[in-house]
Structure formats: structure tokens, C-alpha cells
Structure 1
Amino acid sequence: MRPVRAHSPEFLQATQTSYDAIAEAYAAGFPDSLTGRPLESALLTAFAELARVPGGPARPPVADIGSGPGYVAARLHGLGLPVFGVDVSPRMVALARRAHPGLRFHVGSMTALDLPDETLGGIVALYSIIHVPDDHLPSVFAEFHRVLVPGAPVLLAFQSGDEDGHLRLTERFGQEISLDYHWRTPDTVAAHLGEAGLELYARVVREPVGEEKRPRAFLLAHKPDGAPGSAAEGR
């Protein structure tokens, strides 16, 4: 995967620098945020079922986009999927490789995946589109559509609310950062998916738990395969 270059969009540079600064503290604080989250675990299991091709040829791998410390990729691997992680932060990638030496992690950006067309059997992006500005989100989903094989699923998770908005954090874990967080309604994100040619399969919203301040939204979509009925429904 290509590292983030100097000519990359400003938000990518800021995201990379910020997560490099907080990587160790973040990984220590959130070694596996799926623990104690049965809904998230169930949705990952559903994604894995949709990504499988029973009795078919060798499955293409799935990608965990915004893989962070690597625990989502590890969970997908445990569910029997060939998987690799992609993160904009080199430091996060290094920590993920250390924690999960049997898996592949690469530095890269969801805005320009260094992959040929139609080579992924699925994409998981949990709380990674939250750092993508509104004007870049359509191109991100177009990139997802480009690299997915027909019928492949996409699972997104993001902070939500009654309306779209964003905030900028300048400090986290005692480190100076400059990181934008965008929250969007499920309808907003679903509309962008549709415009990119990705069909919505399911949406789930859960209320905040613990220290969370906003609802969590989950959208499961797929790239149409051109056959009668959706690929997701036929598996």
C-alpha cells in the first residue's frame, strides 16, 4: 500500500500525524473495543457470512480499512476470512503488526487504495469514515465500489445523531493533535453509498453506552452482482 504523500489532502496529513502521536496510548486504551459489544460482534459475523463463497473458487481477501491496532482484522481472521488491514498511520500499522504477527497490515488511505479493480471480497470500515470530510466521502465510496468484486459486502460504523455535524479535537491522551470528527445520520451515509453504486442491505442504530455521547450507526451494503436478486440475499 502507498504511504500518505505530501500532496495528499490536508485532512489525511492531519489524521496521519494525529494518530501517529496517540498510537501507543490508543492501542493500550482500546486493545479490543469489540469486547463486551455483542451487537458489533454479531454484525461482523453477519458480514463474514455474506463475504463467504461456499463451494466456490478461492475467496478474495477482505480489507479492514482504518485498521488501527488490528483487533477487527484479527476478529475477521478468527471468523475464517482472508483479511488484511489498511491504516493511514504508520505507527498504528507497526503496533498492529506487533500485536498480530500472523496478519498483514499496510499503510494506505481509503481515498486511493493501491489495489486493482474488483480484487476485494469485502470491506469493513469501523469508525474510520468519521475523519473524512463531506466533500471527500463520495470519492471514498466510489473507491470502495471500484475495488470490490460484484456481490461483495461493506460494513460501516460511525457516530450518528439527529443531524450532521463535526468537531475538531486539539488534544487527546495528553498529546497535541488536530483531528476532525464528522458525525452523520444513517440517511446521509446511505445516500452517498447509493450514489457510489453500493446497495444498502441493512441499517442498525444503537443508543450510547458507557462514556459514549452519540448513537452508533451501522450500515451493511453490497456491490450489486448484476444477477437477479442481490448477491447478499442469495448467499
Structure 2
Amino acid sequence: MSASDDLARNRATIAGYDACAASYAAETDHAPTPDHVEALERLVASVGPGGRVLEVASGPGWDADRLEGMGLRVRRTDLSEGFIAFQRERGRAVEPLDLITGDLGGPWDGVVALYVIQHVGRDLVEGVIGRIAAALRPGGTLLMSFQEGEGEETTVGSSGAYQVVRWREADMIDGLSRHGLVVEWRSLFHGREADWITVIAHRS
């Protein structure tokens, strides 16, 4: 599959989220798992009070709410107009940002990329990781999750088609290390449809 095909599938995924933003927000507006809370707490401890964090693919904004409640300054971003509208209706400031081609700004104390990498085509992920690393300050922290496994597929739901790309943990860790991102913590969560690995990595 070519990078252009991956990009087209990514855009189709975004359109799917546009159509289901409100229902997705309702489904995810609940108490997070202990592992998820621990990941957010570890990010806060690493970045420090008042740290500046870029969140890509903020979605409904629930994690940004939690991180701001713990003392971080979060730049909320998403490419889905549905999620952007949802957050703005809640009175939150959120900006459109394309993780694949947009300006990530920085240098940031931290970057949050939860539940988004699985929607980025395999041929595009290396570039995305490089862009994230470049946006972090030296010593900055990345909090990221990905679906563990092999292969990829397009899942079709009532709101559209979604690209899902899974990664072997060793391959993803190697990809991070190539861009100077050293993993210092990881957790495994057994979801209903897939296993998720969450990592905290620091830019060396």
C-alpha cells in the first residue's frame, strides 16, 4: 500500500469520526481504567506543574480536562470537525491540526497521542514519530498508545470506514528509538476488540 493510499484511508477515518463525534463522546465519558489514570499521572509527574503539552487527536477532550485538572497547560487539537465542534460547545479552546502534515509547533514539554496512531497508515508512522520527536524539547515526554499485533484492516461501522493498523511492540519501540525517544514505562490493556500498549518515552 502506498503512502497516498494510507493518506486517503486516514481522511476517510476522520470523516467517520465527524459523523459520530457526539455518540463517541458519550461512550467514552466515564471513569478511566486505573492504567489510564496511571499513565496520565506519570506524564504530569514527568512534565512538572505548569508544563506545556500538545495533545493530538483530542477527541471529546476528556483527557485534556483531566490533565488540566492536574496542573498542565494543554494545547488541544484535532482534525475532526465533529470533535472540534463538540469541544467548543463545551467551552474549550481547540484547534484544527493534521498530525501527518501540520505544524506541531513546540518545543513542548510533552506530547499526548492516545488512541490515534492506529489510524495512521503504516508507511506514514515513521514520519509522524519523527515530527513528534522534533516538537519535543530535549528531555520532553511522549505519552502514546497503539494497538498491539500484526497487520491492518478497514473496519466498517454505521458512521463510516476506519483504518486500523496494528504494531508488534518491538517494532514500535525500535521506531521510537530511531528518533531518540527512549521508552521508560509501558502498560498493556486488554480491550474488547484489541490489546492496547501505552508507553511513556523521553526524548534523549
What's the TM-score, normalizing by structure 1?
0.78
Shift of residue 188, structure 1, vs aligned partner: 1.7
Which residue of structure 1 lines up, in the alignment, with residue 63 of structure 2?
A: 72
The answer as to 2:101 corresponding to 1:96 is no
What's the secondary structure of 1:151's corresponding residue? strand
Q: Map 1:25-104 onto structure 2 (within 5 A).
A: 25-32=23-30, 35-52=31-48, 59=51, 61-99=52-90, 101=91, 103-104=92-93
Q: Which amino acid aligns with 1:62?
A: V
Shift of residue 36, structure 1, vs aligned partner: 4.3
Partners of 1:165 and 1:206 in 2: how far apart?
Answer: 19
Q: 1:16 to 1:151 in 2, by over 3 A?
A: same
The answer as to 2:116 corresponding to 1:136 is no
Partners of 2:156 and 2:203 in 1: how far apart?
Answer: 37
Which residue of structure 2 lines up, in the alignment, with residue 4 of structure 1?
A: none
Partners of 2:182 and 2:124 in 1: how far apart?
Answer: 19
Q: Which amino acid aligns with 1:43?
A: A
Q: Higher helix proportion, which one?
A: 2
* Structure 2: gaps of 5 or more residues: 1-5
Contact 2:35–2:187 (CA under 8 A) maintained in structure 1: no
Q: Which runs of 4+ in 1 moved over 6 A?
A: none
- Counterpart among 147, 161, 171 of residue 178 in structure 1: 161
Q: 1:24 to 1:13 in 2, by over 3 A?
A: same
What's the TM-score, normalizing by structure 2?
0.90
Q: Map 1:1-235 onto structure 2 (within 5 A).
A: 9-32=7-30, 35-52=31-48, 59=51, 61-99=52-90, 101=91, 103-116=92-105, 118-161=106-149, 164-171=150-157, 174-175=158-159, 177-208=160-191, 212-224=192-204
Contact 1:160–1:184 (CA under 8 A) maintained in structure 2: yes
Partners of 2:29 and 2:154 in 1: how far apart?
Answer: 24
Which residue of structure 2 lines up, in the alignment, with residue 228 of structure 1?
A: none
* Structure 1: gaps of 5 or more residues: 1-7, 225-235
- Coordinate RMSD, CA, aligned: 1.8
- Superimposed CA distance per residue, residues 29-58 of structure 1 (whole angstroms, 9 cap, x where no aligned partner): 2224xx1401110111001110116xxxx7
Shift of residue 94, structure 1, vs aligned partner: 1.1
